[in-house]
Structure 1
Amino acid sequence: MRILFSGTPAYGHLLPLLPLERAARQAGHTTAFLTHASLGEVVAPAPVLGAGATLEETLGEFQRRTGKNAATDMSPATAGEFFGGTRVDLGADEALAAARDFAPDLVIAETADFLGPLVASQSGVAWASHGVGIALEAPLAEAMWATAAARAAGRGVTLARPVTSVDPWPDCLQRDDWEPAADRVTIRPEAHESETGTDWQVPSFPGREHLPRVLVTLGTIIDDADALTRIVTSLTKHDVNVVVALPPSAEGDRLPVDGAGDGVHVTGFVPMGLLLRGVDAVVSSGGAGTVLSVLGDGIPMVIWPMGLDKPLNAERAAALGAAEVIGAADEAGDAVARVLDQPSFRTAAGAAARNIAAMTPAPEVLALLTERRG
């Protein structure tokens, strides 16, 4: 079978698809990703069918058209026009041409992507929706769908509904009023580990091995050296070792932290599966992929939510008792001290890890999708 995976050109939208793509490839299926070519290293060794603009270019075009910043405003109207409109406008021709050449038997598209559903609908093949975080609220999902359906209709295509909704977000982290979709299938999220290899080594912190290790990451999109420096400075007031993961866009791997000494190690982008080894607590901005990876390993968190879905992710993790939420970078050190000192945080994180481990593994989800495609 030929399976096409489709997603917005951003780490947080593509990485959640990798476990299912890997399962498909290992089962002997032919796979490819429909996204911007610049994300080729992220999804390797799967090939990329290049389509559309980069995320930055799409944000710029959207702002030119509307005067709004989709990176900070995710109201239904903005999200609908950004994901269902501007991104489709900039990528539809290339996506349709690429899909004709690839000739997929099944398309799997992440929740905010509508190029995949467009090519599936025109080709007459089934497609499945794959979540990347907490379930979208109905007004947001409906606005995105309505705009994308209108763009598809303008090309003479009726946008078909997905045959299945694949969801990596565990029940324990959903909203209190959440109800699962009738076609929902859970998939166990996995912390990213590159198949193409890396030369990164877990730092050793000589003479400080007995101290807790704290990972600091603001995710793959936020590039704020000042915020990271303030977080790390607050942590150096406590007896901990600190690993700071910079975003892919950062230049070099240095961070100016006065008095950091031997207790701080700064690195460029490293797969989360490696970064979490030996970690006792994580300070993050609350991105969906980070929250799922960290809780999947049973590690407690301190979250400084920085926009979009992050405040809600932080709220749900805190409601479990697995995270403390802070309102400023300078609060990170004291919050980490509390999280490390109070066993209840690790107990709650461990319970979340067991819930995540009980979700459906990717090979079983793949089997379900191949059955449901008709």
Structure 2
Amino acid sequence: MASILLCSAPLTGHVQPMLAIGRRLVTDGHDVAILTGRAFAERAERAGIRFVPLPPSCDYDDTRLDDRFPGRSRYPAFLRSLFDAERMFAALAGDQYRAVTAAVELVAADVVIVENLFMGALPLLTTEPDGRPDVFAVCTSPLMATSVDTAPFGPGLSPSTGPVSRTRNRLLNAGARRVVMRRAQRIASVETRRVIGSDPACFLLDWPLLADDTFVLTTHGFEYPRPDVDDRLSFVGPILPAAPRDWSTPPWWDRLITDRPVVLVTQGTLDNHDLGTLIDPTVDALADTDALVIAATGGRPADAVHSAPSNVVVTEFVPFSLLLPHVDVMVTNGGWGGVHFALSHGVPLVVAGSTEDKAEIGARVARSGAGIRIRTGSPSPAALRRAVSEVLADGRYAARARELAADLACHDATESIARRVREVAAST
């Protein structure tokens, strides 16, 4: 058996799939440790995974990001993404690298498995392969890597191929590196030189392509085709949490047994400080329709929703794996996990999100044919009503979502990664 070190930025949506991978590896008999934020120590230990804390310099609470990164919430969508790239990711690369190299020695790691926002992997993979363990990358978000077949990651531009379109992509990618992401790349370079004495081997967002294996947590049918890099990628499907074993159905559950269309609206568990951006306008949009609306606040109190007409149920938490078989359309700000939950149940989507990677996720939903993208994070009730009505009326959206569900069902991400670990362990 092997000693495995998992590494994750202290972000819930990135730590959870890494813990699922670790749980699967523990079942195989491997010794597994995870390097991440202290907030996840108990969850790691419950999974049988040894917890190794990140140093305070690169640890933070993802429910209180403004405490650690003052002013972050004041930036509009795209500028907030740049803020994150510079301060939350690139600026922490050096200290993360030192933490991972110390953890490799501590646990005598044979394999290091790193999620794609843990930027300490950039200096690690810039070093000579003979001086480190095998490194696997796990893309827990849309693939950010540069390709001649895609526009730069961030604004949600659709891919485009052909000679003219490839020229467009090259120009846009060059602009992204030299202008838009210039400061983030410079910070990453400074951090890399500080800890290993040389410049990084690649562009900041491209580091997963340097890994010995790169696992993408979706299917090829949902991600953009990239013929120039696809041979370095393994599409293994999403990792979605199971429903809690002790969860009991609430009194309103019987309302799901209906011929009325059921619409779920959610802003996830992190980007839900202001429910007026999506949940409230969706409630307003559908208040006088025959739809049953389930508004899931992601932990916010039910009274944070400004109104609840008779056709609306407000719930702080509901396991999506149990609810989605009853849902006809899901309205979401575009979280990676929530979108894959919907698609895995064949539920079409209306996506309205603009922060973090949500524009990119919305673009992929629209391109896949499984839903409609509204190009704003604060849509009007009228726009939401039109989009929901179109998805309900046009069966092609649901049909495409069912096709993607069948594709997703053919994948088992944790088994695919565990199989590769077994191969490495057998060769050492």
TM-score range, shorter chain: 0.7 to 0.9
Give the aligned partner of residue 156 of structure 1: 196
* Counterpart check, 1:73 vs 2:79: yes
Superposed, which structure 2 residues align to 1:1-374 within 5 Å? Answer: 1-40=2-41, 44-45=46-47, 46-51=49-54, 52-55=58-61, 72-73=78-79, 80-89=85-94, 91=96, 94-115=99-120, 124-138=132-146, 148=188, 150-156=190-196, 161-175=210-224, 179-193=228-242, 197-201=245-249, 204-206=252-254, 209-210=257-258, 211-223=260-272, 224-227=274-277, 228-248=279-299, 250=300, 252-261=301-310, 263-268=312-317, 270-326=318-374, 327=376, 328-330=379-381, 331-359=383-411, 361-372=413-424
Query: What's the CA shift string for 1:132-159, capped at 9, x where partnerless?
Result: 1221142669867875465244223777
Query: Secondary structure in 1 aligned to 2:355?
Result: coil
* RMSD value, Cα: 3.6
Identify which range, 53-62 or 182-191, moves more after superposition.
Answer: 53-62
Which consecutive segments of 4 or more residues in structure 1 shift more than 6 A?
Answer: 119-123, 139-146, 157-160
Change over 3 Å in CA distance of 1:306–1:202 after alignment to 2: farther
Counterpart CA distance in 2 for 1:353 and 1:162 is 29
Checking the alignment, whether the CA contact within 8 Å between 2:10 and 2:36 is kept in structure 1 is yes
Change over 3 Å in CA distance of 1:237–1:257 after alignment to 2: farther
Structure 2 counterpart of 1:280, which letter?
Answer: D
Give the aligned partner of residue 205 of structure 2: none
Change over 3 Å in CA distance of 1:299–1:58 after alignment to 2: closer
Checking the alignment, whether the CA contact within 8 Å between 2:97 and 2:121 is kept in structure 1 is no
Q: Shift in Å at residue 279 of structure 1?
A: 2.0
Q: Tell me the number of residue pairs that the alignment of Structure 1 and Structure 2 aligns.
A: 368
Q: Shift in Å at residue 333 of structure 1?
A: 3.5
Counterpart CA distance in 1 for 2:353 and 2:218 is 18
Checking the alignment, whether the CA contact within 8 Å between 2:123 and 2:196 is kept in structure 1 is no
Q: Shift in Å at residue 351 of structure 1?
A: 1.1
Change over 3 Å in CA distance of 1:206–1:130 after alignment to 2: closer
Query: What's the CA shift string for 1:30-67, capped at 9, x where partnerless?
Result: 22321111134665524432213215577666568x99
Query: What's the CA shift string for 1:311-346, capped at 9, x where partnerless?
Result: 222122122221022351413244223322322111
Counterpart CA distance in 2 for 1:21 and 1:208 is 35
Change over 3 Å in CA distance of 1:55–1:342 after alignment to 2: same
Any gaps of 5 or more consecutive residues in structure 2?
147-151, 154-175, 202-209
Query: What's the CA shift string for 1:159-210, capped at 9, x where partnerless?
Result: 794101101132222236664443211212132226x744352664446621
Checking the alignment, whether the CA contact within 8 Å between 1:107 and 1:117 is kept in structure 2 is no
Query: What's the CA shift string for 1:214-261, capped at 9, x where partnerless?
Result: 22111222122223222222223222222222235x3x3434443523
Query: Secondary structure in 1 aligned to 2:269?
Result: coil
Q: Shift in Å at residue 362 of structure 1?
A: 2.4
Structure 1 counterpart of 2:139, which letter?
Answer: G
Checking the alignment, whether the CA contact within 8 Å between 1:222 and 1:247 is kept in structure 2 is no
TM-score, with length taken from structure 2:
0.73
Query: Secondary structure in 2 aligned to 1:155?
Result: helix
Query: Secondary structure in 1 aligned to 2:221?
Result: helix
Change over 3 Å in CA distance of 1:242–1:115 after alignment to 2: same
Identify which range, 99-108 or 348-357, moves more after superposition.
Answer: 99-108
Checking the alignment, whether the CA contact within 8 Å between 1:80 and 1:147 is kept in structure 2 is no
